[in-house]
């Protein structure tokens, strides 16, 4: 019985540490230890009622551990946590040039629906608003998503359905 309890305590400790050092390896090790604890207890237990009670105890302990850990993380000072509250200076996701919205351009590589366009002599990645646009088709920029511009055809006859 003592081996089962030792494995349970070590497993709970590893799951606790997983919250502070994420990566799934520590948590997986904790889960394996807890599972081994249940198996060893079941082999040594005198009745199935004792095994059921132990499993229930383990489930309650895991629930309490997770609840305690999440509360502790929320109350941790911002300097003591690995979780960011805002963007880090200098590290931003790619974005499109908003000044290009409303500007006209031309398709330089077929948009199927994604491809390349040229606006004011500069080349950009773009995605059409659902229709296939052939190379040379005139377009207008209507928005963007990430680094891609979203365009639509200027003329209806530029689409190829």
The pTM assigned to this predicted structure is: 0.50
Find the angle CA(80)-CA(84)-CA(89) to the nearest 5 degrees: 115
Q: Where are the domains of the chain?
A: 2-80, 98-158
- What is the Cα–Cα distance from 112 to 160, expressed in whole angstroms? 10
- What is the Cα–Cα distance from 18 to 152, expressed in whole angstroms? 48
CA dihedral 96, 101, 106, 107 (to 10 degrees): 40
Per-residue model confidence as pLDDT tens digits over 55-95: 999 999 999 999 998 888 777 766 655 555 565 555 556 77
Per-residue model confidence as pLDDT tens digits over 111-132: 888 899 999 889 999 998 877 8
Domain 98-158 CATH assignment equals 2.40.50.140: yes
The upper half-sphere exposure of residue 37, i.e. CA atoms within 13 Å in the direction of its Cβ, equals 22
């Amino acid at each position: 019985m003592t081996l089962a309890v030792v494995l349970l305590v070590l497993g709970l400790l590893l799951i606790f540490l997983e919250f502070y050092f994420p990566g799934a390896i520590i948590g997986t090790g904790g889960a394996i230890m807890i599972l081994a604890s249940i198996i060893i207890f079941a082999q040594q237990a005198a009745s199935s009622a004792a095994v059921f009670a132990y499993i229930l105890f383990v489930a309650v302990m895991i629930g309490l551990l997770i609840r305690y850990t999440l509360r502790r993380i929320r109350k941790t000072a911002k300097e003591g946590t690995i979780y960011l509250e805002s963007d880090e200076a200098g590290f931003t996701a790619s974005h499109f040039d908003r000044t290009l919205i409303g500007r006209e351009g031309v398709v330089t590589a077929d948009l199927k629906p994604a491809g390349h366009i040229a606006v004011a002599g500069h080349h950009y990645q773009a995605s059409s608003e659902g229709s296939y646009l052939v190379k040379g088709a005139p377009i207008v920029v209507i928005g963007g998503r990430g680094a891609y511009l979203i365009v639509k055809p200027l003329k209806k006859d530029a689409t190829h359905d």
